[in-house]
Amino acid sequence: MKNLYDEEQIKRLLHEIKEADAIVIGAGAGLSTSAGLTYSGERFEKYFYDFAKRFGIRDIYSGGFYPFPSKEIRWAWWARHIYFNRYIDAPKPVYSDLLKMVSDKDYFVITTNVDHQFQRAGFDKKRLFYTQGDYGLFQSVNPAIQKTFDNEDWVMKAMEAQGFVRDDQGVFQVPIDGKLLMEIPSELIPKCLDDGSDMTMNLRADDSFVEDEGWHRASAAYSDFISRYENHHVLYLELGVGANTPVIIKYPFWQMTLANDKAVYACVNFGEAFCPEEIADRSICIDGDIANILQEIWRSF
């Protein structure tokens, strides 16, 4: 099959991945979308069809903001929302393809994604900084409790309570008759283990977001990595980062590339691959599907 992308840019990116002293990966929602973790379409219609029919919800993302009429229904939604984006492997091997390319390099990942796919693919946990939270964590609504709580056991119980059944690989699926409950028992509504207060997601939506000890350790590790390679040949590899939160990854990557004449900035994104003129001579911008582009690069390794 003929390569549909800019062959020269792909060759440049392949060269930089191989030759850089260090690689800083900045990942946004577009990376998970390219891996098949879409928030609308077939996945939504398969696992949330009943919520769509009753409440008119159009996609997984907007459903997270819907004012459900009860806690039992709200937490049934969130159990599915979490499970199908956090506790399953992505349909396409995008993350594992990326890991194969950087596994023998000194790398670090900063991401606004909250779906845990880097760790599921085998990336070193100590080289990951999830800035915006984790679908796998709850936090208390009580601001005095500045820690997070693992939710995996709760999610599995809440999925079973709605009627989901496990397939041969242990993955929850809609039962053959298609009948699901859109609520969980009241006793399953998650409560804080410390004070019995209500729980909420550990996702950065406002200033109530809990930055726990793990978050601060990851933040410090990222800062240390950036400092260690401040004047080295660094590849700042931006994957699927949009314009919603450019101050977290995109703008810092531009600034660090500008400040270090040995650094190279690479942006791979569908419809949003660009860079400032000031670093254009040290930038690689590839517009297209990340999954296909990474496969193209891996075939040439």
Dihedrals phi, psi of 197, to nearest 5 degrees: -75, 165
Residues in CB range of 56: below 8 A, 6 or more apart: none
Kindly give the confidence (pLDDT) of every residue in the chain, 301 residues in length, as a single tens digit, with 9 standing for 90 and above: 334 568 899 999 999 999 999 999 999 999 999 999 999 999 999 999 999 999 999 999 999 999 999 999 999 999 999 999 999 999 999 999 999 999 999 999 999 999 999 999 999 999 999 999 999 999 999 999 999 999 999 999 999 999 999 999 999 999 999 999 999 999 999 999 999 999 999 999 999 999 999 999 999 999 999 999 999 999 999 999 998 889 999 999 999 999 999 999 999 999 999 999 999 999 999 999 999 999 999 988 8
CA distance 225 to 218: 11
DSSP 202-219: EE-SSTT----HHHHHHH
Residues in CB range of 79: below 8 A, 6 or more apart: 154, 155, 158, 159, 162, 184
CA distance 201 to 199: 7
Reported in sequence order, the residue ranges of the chain that DSSP labels E, i.e. its strands, are: 22-27, 107-111, 128-130, 133-140, 148-150, 165-166, 172-173, 199-203, 234-239, 264-269, 283-287
Write down the pLDDT at residue 2: 37
Could you tell me the residue ranges of all domains in the chain? Answer: 1-37+91-131+211-301
Determine how many CB atoms are found less than 10 A away from the CB of residue 70.
12
Burial code of 115-136, b = ≥16 C-beta within 10 A, e = fewer?
A: bbbbbebebeeebbbbbbbbbb
Contact (CB, 8 A) for 149 and 193: yes
**Quick check: helix, strand or coil at residue 235?**
strand
CATH architecture of 1-37+91-131+211-301: 3-Layer(aba) Sandwich (3.40)
Cα atoms in the Cβ-side hemisphere of radius 13 Å centred on 62:
9
Q: Which of 292, 290, 291, 253 is nearest to 270 (CA)?
A: 290
- In this structure, are strands 165-166 and 148-150 parallel, antiparallel, or unpaired? unpaired
Write down the pLDDT at residue 300: 85
CA distance 115 to 234: 26
What one-character DSSP code corresponds to residue 280? G
Residues in CB range of 254: below 8 A, 6 or more apart: 265, 275, 276, 279
What kind and span of H or E run contains 164? none
Contact (CB, 8 A) for 290 and 29: no
Write down the pLDDT at residue 232: 98
